[in-house]
């Protein structure tokens, strides 16, 4: 793609903007096609995410404390039962201020984060020495990635869009350290510390995976860089000891809110037991598990599953694999890097270290016969018990696969027809017919607007009757049904609820459904235990209130 190198900066910016718009249009084609009436997610997990986004809008307006959501009232620090969604919430507050309803705003947040990911990946590719065309292709592949597309019902996974920006800041800070530029080290290092702390408060998976791969990358670089480079790094650290200590202190201060919020909840809940984690550790076949509806490779996934693991569900949390052609390019890149191509020494060492660290950490996530090296991470690495769905590491590692693959392809001279075919196939294999668009914006917004203002004296509420309809087969006789709707009503109508549901729930939480004989007794016991006065009941079938009753 050397022809793009002759383009001026304005032309490149225009091409990048057009390419980014096309990628966003392709990724969100379903929502655009249906007029944003069906959105990513469902009325369970999707509504939980929206309630937390609304929490940040309320917090910025001074309606709620930053750490205390409108659900699980009046338990303290309830934000700590789930991912914090901080960066998403800040974007959401902006879209809400512009007049978007909660559901549309939530989808606009997804679009905005993918736009950030596209721009940051393009800039990162250029920073790593890729020609504009190859960096653009890498950014496009990251933006339209198949695994995020089919797992997009989990909003927290969109935090992977901030990883290339985090890497960009890390690279700039390390380059400044290497070259002895104190001001650059301080500025870019501070930006990295701030973004990493914000990412931790947004989606723990991608922040923790960044730290995990970053640690492995450092070890790999020390192994492959050579003695002279290691000595230079040691001298640079000694020379810049003062700003590095300042950055360390800044990082500690910025992460205090995260530690204050989540460490007590981790101790309270005990995190995830190993059998639950092992269920979501990918098998070798899941490396290419791009889903049975992938346009190019669905037949392969179906055939492998039917032949090698019959009965394996078509829909699975382990459906996070990468397309075979991109994987083949990455494997070829690893072999190319091992041979020592003619690259600048610093870039070669970095790409080699990235390839080695990616290969080693990815291998650790796999299970064979119920055994996995991830058990070592789970038991001995701080934070290792928090990620439950280990297969999501494949969504995170996508960027680390794309960059070396693009560097390898860029080192070859390609006939233009073959180059066009290769780029087209790399993009086409990201296409999937399955999209988790199960959140009916029109229906859910109408239900939300049907809730009248609460009666005077109502300080909090519980759901006394849940909806009975199910458009997409969502479970009705299920705790998610009434709890998630209560969470959104509480956030939008600014009245707290004792209901709510999360991966972990507070002690004494009313675990049943309104139809259970013991539900009302559980509600009363919870209210008594917390000394709640002015508790009302909300009927989500008739959209009527009753109470408050003194308890």
pLDDT of residue 50: 98
Three-state SS at 395: helix
Report whether 31 contacts 437 (CB < 8 A): yes
pLDDT of residue 1: 62
pLDDT of residue 551: 47
Determine the Cα–Cα distance for residues 138 and 399; give it in Å rounded to an integer: 8
Helix 86-97 × helix 182-200 angle, to 10°: 80
Omega before 548 within 30 of 0, i.e. cis: yes
β-pairing, 535-539 vs 460-465, is parallel
Give which of 174, 214, 178 is closest to 196, Cα–Cα.
Answer: 214
Bridge partners of 544, per DSSP, are: 539
Tell me how many degrees the CA angle 379-382-388 measures, rounded to the nearest 5: 65
Bridge partners of 371, per DSSP, are: 368
Bridge partners of 505, per DSSP, are: none
Q: Would you say how long the chain is, in residues? A: 551
What CA–CA distances, in Å, run from 449 to 50, 101, 303, 535? 15, 11, 47, 21
Give the max Cα distance, the chain: 79
The structure tokens listed for 460 are 């909090």
283: which DSSP letter? P
70: which DSSP letter? S
Domain boundaries, the chain: 2-35+83-282+320-412, 439-549
Give which of 452, 546, 543, 502 is closest to 69, Cα–Cα.
Answer: 502
The structure tokens listed for 241 are 């000891």
3-state helix, strand, coil in the chain (%, to 5): 60, 5, 30
Report whether 7 contacts 132 (CB < 8 A): yes
Which runs of consecutive H residues, i.e. helices, occur in 255-322?
A: 256-269, 274-278, 298-308
What does each of the 551 residues of the chain score in pLDDT, given as a tens digit? Answer: 655 666 788 899 999 999 999 999 999 999 999 999 999 999 999 999 999 999 999 999 999 999 999 999 999 999 999 999 999 999 999 999 999 999 999 999 999 999 999 999 999 999 999 999 999 999 999 999 999 999 999 999 999 999 999 999 999 999 999 999 999 999 999 999 999 999 999 999 999 999 999 999 999 999 999 999 999 999 999 999 999 999 999 999 999 999 999 999 988 888 889 999 999 999 999 999 999 999 999 999 999 999 999 999 888 899 999 999 999 999 999 999 999 888 899 999 999 999 999 999 999 999 999 999 999 999 999 999 999 999 999 999 999 999 999 999 999 888 999 999 999 999 999 999 999 999 999 999 999 999 999 999 999 999 999 999 888 878 888 899 999 999 999 999 999 999 999 988 998 899 889 999 999 999 999 999 999 999 999 999 999 999 887 54
Name the phi and psi angles at 129, rounded to 5.
Answer: 95, 10
Report whether 1 contacts 426 (CB < 8 A): no
Q: Could you write out the DSSP letters of every residue in 447-470?
A: HHHTPPPPPTT--EEEEEE-----
Q: Is 107 exposed, middle or buried (0-12, 13-18, 19+ CB in 10 A)?
A: buried
Report whether 237 contacts 188 (CB < 8 A): no
Assessment of whether the complete model's pTM goes beyond 0.85? yes
Three-state SS at 533: coil
Report whether 135 contacts 125 (CB < 8 A): yes
What CA–CA distances, in Å, run from 131 to 12, 301, 423, 427? 11, 34, 15, 18
Give which of 529, 330, 315, 310 is closest to 432, Cα–Cα.
Answer: 315
- HSE of 514, CA atoms in CB hemisphere, 13 A: 19
Give which of 27, 45, 52, 34 is closest to 113, Cα–Cα.
Answer: 27
Report whether 360 contacts 219 (CB < 8 A): no
Report whether 156 contacts 85 (CB < 8 A): yes
């Amino acid at each position: 793609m050397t022809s793009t190198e002759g383009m001026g900066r304005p032309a490149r910016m225009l091409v990048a903007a057009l390419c980014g718009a096309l990628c966003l249009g392709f990724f969100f084609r379903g929502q655009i096609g249906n007029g944003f009436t069906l959105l990513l997610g469902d009325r369970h997990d999707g509504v939980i995410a929206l309630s937390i986004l609304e929490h940040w809008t309320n917090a910025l307006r001074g309606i709620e404390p930053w750490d205390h959501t409108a659900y699980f009232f009046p338990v303290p620090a309830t934000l700590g039962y789930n991912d914090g969604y901080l960066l998403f919430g800040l974007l959401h507050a902006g879209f809400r201020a512009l007049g978007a309803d909660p559901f549309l705003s939530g989808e606009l947040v997804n679009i905005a984060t993918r736009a950030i990911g596209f721009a940051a990946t393009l800039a990162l590719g250029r920073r790593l020495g890729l020609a504009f065309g190859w960096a653009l292709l890498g950014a496009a592949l990251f933006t339209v990635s198949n695994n995020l597309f089919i797992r997009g019902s989990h909003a927290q996974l969109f935090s992977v869009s901030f990883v290339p920006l985090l890497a960009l800041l890390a690279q700039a800070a390390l380059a400044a350290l290497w070259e002895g530029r104190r001001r650059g080290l301080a500025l870019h290092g501070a930006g990295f510390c701030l973004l990493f702390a914000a990412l931790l408060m947004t989606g723990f998976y991608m922040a923790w995976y960044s730290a995990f791969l970053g640690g492995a990358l450092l070890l790999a670089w020390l192994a492959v860089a050579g003695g002279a480079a290691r000595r230079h790094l040691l001298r640079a650290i000694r020379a810049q000891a003062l700003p590095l200590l300042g950055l360390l202190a800044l990082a500690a201060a910025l992460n205090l809110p995260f530690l204050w919020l989540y460490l007590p909840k981790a101790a309270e809940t005990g995190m995830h037991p190993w059998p639950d984690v092992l269920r979501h550790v990918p098998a070798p076949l899941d490396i290419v598990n791009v889903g049975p509806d992938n346009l190019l490779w669905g037949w392969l996934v179906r055939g492998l599953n039917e032949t090698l693991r019959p009965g394996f569900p078509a829909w699975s949390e382990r459906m996070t694999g990468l397309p075979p052609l991109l994987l083949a390019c990455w494997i070829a890149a690893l072999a190319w890097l091992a041979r020592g191509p003619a690259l600048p020494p610093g870039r070669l060492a970095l790409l080699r270290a990235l390839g080695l660290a990616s290969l080693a950490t990815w291998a650790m996530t796999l299970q064979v016969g119920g055994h996995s090296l991830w058990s070592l991470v789970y038991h001995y690495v701080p934070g290792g018990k928090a990620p439950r769905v280990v297969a999501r590491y494949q969504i995170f590692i996508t960027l680390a696969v794309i960059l070396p693959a693009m560097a390898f392809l860029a080192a070859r001279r390609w006939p233009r027809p073959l180059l066009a075919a290769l780029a087209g196939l790399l993009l086409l294999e990201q296409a999937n017919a399955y999209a988790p668009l199960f959140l009916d914006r029109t229906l859910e917004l109408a239900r939300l607007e049907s809730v009248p203002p609460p009666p005077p004296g109502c300080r909090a509420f519980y759901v006394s009757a849940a909806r009975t309809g199910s458009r997409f087969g969502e479970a009705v006789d299920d705790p998610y049904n009434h709890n998630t709707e209560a969470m959104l009503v509480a956030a939008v109508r600014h009245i707290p609820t004792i209901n709510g549901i999360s991966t972990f729930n507070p002690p004494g939480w009313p675990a049943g459904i309104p139809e259970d004989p013991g539900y009302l007794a559980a509600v009363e016991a919870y209210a008594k235990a917390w000394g709640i006065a002015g508790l009302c009941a909300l009927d989500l079938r008739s959209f009527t209130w009753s109470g408050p009753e003194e308890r």
